[in-house]
Amino acid sequence: MNNIKLSENIIIDKILQIICLEKGLSHNTIIAYKKDITLVFDWFKKKNFNFLNANEENFRELFSFFLRKNYKPSSLSRKLSSLKHFYEMLKEEGYINANPLSNIENFKQENTLPKSLSEEHITLLLTKAKNNFNDIPEEDIAKKMKSLRLFTILEILYSTGMRISELISLPLSDFVQVNDLLQIKGKGGAYRQVAFNNKAKKVIEIWLLYRSKIEIFSNNKYMFPNNDGKGYVSRQSTHRDLYQLSKSLNFNGINVSPHQIRHSFATHLLNRGADLRSLQKLLGHADISTTETYTKVQSKRLAGLLNDIHPLNKIEFKNKESFKT
């Protein structure tokens, strides 16, 4: 066992650096990872014991505490996964002899169906975003830029099924030439290819032309700079702009999010005959079981479709007694 006496913070930072390098985690994943680890170790400090000495019983007590605080199963599963990996790295680096979480099972999660918009809703969103851009006076460059940026992001999200975190952080250098395929670094550091249809490519070209005319973007390395040109547009501001757009269309209280656009992309493709394996690749799912969730959406839709349009449903038997099998 490693006998080097280092402060807790130094050990934590060292292990997190190893994990980040090993897994190629995204910026947002790293933040979530650190947040989970910090929350747990702060709890340990209140109990006055070192995290290196924590055992299985301590962790079961910790997760019982989280359950009493009404943490969602998805949140608890993420925390457990982060901790298991962290303690496995501690073991490999020689700080502990065994992983105290190895026997703790994942928390059961409700298999909820992804929420998606109708094709009509998507068309209304895209049309409204385009019209908003066209209605803004040419001299209002800042407002016009924000409007076109949202329209371009919305078009790409629905055309490709990309995650918003994947899209907004894309470097401008990837679009020196707008091709049919683009290799991106997705969730968990895995690379995959994203396909652009002709409509998406046209919108990208328009955005690039407009972007090139904005002086504060001249030294920005990202495809979608934020308003002051010093970084890329955030998920929060994109979500906010998209919500305001949907609110203006009065979608009966539907809070449209970028992730909902991704779900809509998947659901609409599946409804139009796309196979699961192709959809898995397009969405960048590591496990096809994640993609299979969308088949439940389709099954629900097909059941409703049969009730609505099947010709037998229109036949009424007025005299049930005369009906013979």
> For the chain, what are the domain ranges?
8-92, 119-301
- Residue 293 vs residue 102, higher pLDDT: 102
pLDDT exceeds 50 at position 5: no
- Residue 291 vs residue 187, higher pLDDT: 291
End-to-end CA distance of the chain: 78
| Enclosing H/E stretch for 183 | strand 181-185
Coil, helix or strand at residue 222:
strand
Question: Could you tell me which residues are beta bridge partners of residue 193?
Answer: 183
Angstrom distance (rounded) from CA 180 to CA 21:
31
Angstrom distance (rounded) from CA 174 to CA 170:
7
CB atoms within 10 A of CB 205: 13
Selection from 239, 249, 52 nearest residue 164 by Cα: 239
User: Looking at the annotation, which residues are catalytic?
Assistant: 163, 187, 259, 262, 285, 294
The topology (CATH level 3) of 119-301 is hpI Integrase; Chain A (1.10.443)
The overall pTM is greater than 0.85 = no
- CATH of region 8-92, choose from 3.60.20.30, 1.10.150.130, 3.30.413.10, 1.10.645.10: 1.10.150.130
| Enclosing H/E stretch for 193 | strand 191-195
Q: Are the C-beta atoms of 107 and 73 separated by less than 8 Å?
A: yes
Tokens of 79: 């925390």
pLDDT confidence tier of residue 322, bands split at 50, 70 and 90: very low
Calculate mean pLDDT across residues 154-179: 90
